[in-house]
């Protein structure tokens, strides 16, 4: 749906005169312009992006869907605009603005009635350009996994393997990593969020890498678990269970399905195989401008899948003193089914060096 129409609906449904976006995420979503600081005031007639002198020239050249104005005193600028346009009721992002910020706004703009808005669903459905950027970020992630398999070796540290991933992102056109890379080898693989450490990777260990990048403002997120040499057969069994659970969940993705069903399908399969207590997190999350955004792939999530949503499906099993396995892919909900955006093989790679 057109972004302007989405905002018009929010304005109408909440009886507002305008919506004020302060968060980077929502400003970027509407204007396709990246700045650390800015304010986007949208009415049913126009959208004004207010930035300071650091960004004014670039914003006037590249920002979309907005009129760009410079500010030196943001509260004076907002006050002048609201007085001129007779704006009183202004919706704000209740899930991004702190209580302290809101109190400051009320003090500096006493004539404005600030109305809290839950905008968690604002960006759930991606347009074609957004999907294209996510898909490119996923392609860069796939190239990074190829570099992992080519270069990982016994004796390097987890941080050195992380550096290979980050370098791959850079050489293939990514802006940056979309989150702090997870590299967990050996017994550390039983830690779902084991950040890369100075631990040395040894022969005959399992390794989990969870990584993603940003391409033109949109994220990818992928996890693969592989082996360097011979590993405990139980870890091979666990990998096969996780892979089957994940594919069962992915195959259920289509418009009209309650998203909690995806979690249930993955969780029930792992539980049936006797490892339910070792699957300790939700099955996935939405993906877009933020690495974690709505909707959430959890058992209690009531959101209905719709075309244009992008989610992750990432079940895992983590057994202390043995190791862990997670497999994660980024999934686009299509008109009738799904498309897997991350293409790296899901079967366990057992590397011999």
What are the pLDDT digits (tens) for 237-255? 999 999 999 999 999 999 9
pLDDT computed for residue 62 by the predictor:
97
Per-residue pLDDT at 68 exceeds 80: yes
Q: Tell me if 132 sits within 8 A of 145, measured CB to CB.
A: no
**Same domain? 155 vs 252:** yes
Share of the chain above pLDDT 90, in %: 98
- Tens digit of each residue's pLDDT (9 = 90 or more) over 149-206: 999 999 999 999 999 999 999 999 999 999 999 999 999 999 999 999 999 999 999 9
Last residue in a domain, options 93, 117, 141: 117
SS3 content of the chain, % helix, strand, coil (to 5): 35, 25, 40
**Same domain? 199 vs 321:** yes
Q: Of how many residues is the chain composed?
A: 353
Per-residue pLDDT at 221 exceeds 80: yes
Q: Tell me if 297 sits within 8 A of 313, measured CB to CB.
A: yes
In a domain, 59, yes or no: yes
> What domain range is 241 assigned to?
128-351
Last residue in a domain, options 75, 91, 117: 117
pLDDT computed for residue 75 by the predictor:
96
pLDDT computed for residue 353 by the predictor:
73
Share of the chain above pLDDT 70, in %: 100
In a domain, 242, yes or no: yes
Domain harbouring 336, CATH code: 3.90.230.10
Domain harbouring 62, CATH code: 3.40.350.10
Q: Tell me if 282 sits within 8 A of 289, measured CB to CB.
A: no
Per-residue pLDDT at 352 exceeds 90: no
pTM of the model: 0.96
Per-residue pLDDT at 119 exceeds 80: yes
Residue 226's nearest CA partner among 82, 353, 351, 46 is 351
- Tens digit of each residue's pLDDT (9 = 90 or more) over 276-291: 999 999 999 999 999 9
What is the band of 120 on the pLDDT scale with cuts at 50, 70, 90?
A: confident
**Same domain? 198 vs 345:** yes
**Same domain? 188 vs 334:** yes
Q: What is the number of structural domains in the chain?
A: 2
Count the Cβ atoms, other than its own, within 10 Å of residue 150.
11
Task: Look at strands 338-340 and 329-333 and give their pairing.
Answer: antiparallel
In a domain, 122, yes or no: no
Stretch 305-310: mean pLDDT: 98
**Same domain? 49 vs 137:** no
């Amino acid at each position: 749906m057109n972004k302007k129409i989405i905002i018009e609906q929010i304005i109408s449904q909440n009886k507002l005169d305008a919506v004020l976006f302060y968060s980077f995420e929502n400003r970027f979503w509407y204007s396709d312009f990246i700045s650390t600081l800015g304010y986007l005031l949208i009415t049913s007639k126009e959208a004004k992006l207010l930035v300071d002198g650091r960004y004014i020239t670039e914003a006037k050249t590249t920002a979309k869907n907005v009129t760009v104005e410079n500010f030196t005193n943001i509260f004076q600028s907002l006050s002048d605009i609201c007085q001129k346009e007779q704006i009183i009721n202004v919706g704000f992002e209740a899930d991004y603005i702190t209580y302290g910020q809101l109190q400051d706004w009320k003090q500096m703009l006493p004539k404005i009635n600030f109305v809290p808005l839950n905008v968690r669903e604002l960006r759930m459905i991606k347009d074609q350009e957004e999907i294209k950027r996510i898909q490119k970020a996923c392609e860069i992630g796939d190239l990074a996994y190829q570099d992992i398999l080519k270069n990982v070796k016994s004796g390097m540290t987890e941080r050195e393997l992380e550096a290979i991933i980050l370098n791959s992102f850079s050489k293939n056109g990514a802006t940056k990593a979309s989150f702090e890379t997870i590299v967990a080898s050996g017994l550390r693989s039983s830690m779902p969020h084991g950040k890369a450490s100075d631990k040395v990777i040894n022969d005959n260990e399992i390794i989990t890498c969870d990584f993603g990048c940003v391409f033109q403002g949109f994220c990818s997120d992928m996890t693969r678990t592989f082996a360097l040499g011979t590993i405990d057969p139980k870890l091979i069994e666990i990998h096969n269970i996780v892979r089957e659970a994940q594919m069962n969940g992915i195959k259920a993705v289509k418009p009209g399905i309650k998203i909690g069903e995806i979690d249930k399908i993955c969780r029930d399969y792992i539980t049936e195989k006797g490892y339910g207590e070792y699957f300790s997190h939700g099955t996935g999350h939405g993906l877009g401008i933020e690495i974690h955004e709505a909707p959430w792939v959890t058992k209690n999530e009531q959101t209905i899948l719709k075309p244009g949503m992008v989610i992750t499906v990432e079940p895992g099993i983590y057994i202390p003193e043995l190791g862990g396995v997670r497999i994660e892919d980024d999934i686009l909900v299509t008109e009738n089914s799904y498309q897997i955006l991350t293409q790296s093989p899901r079967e366990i790679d057992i590397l011999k060096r």
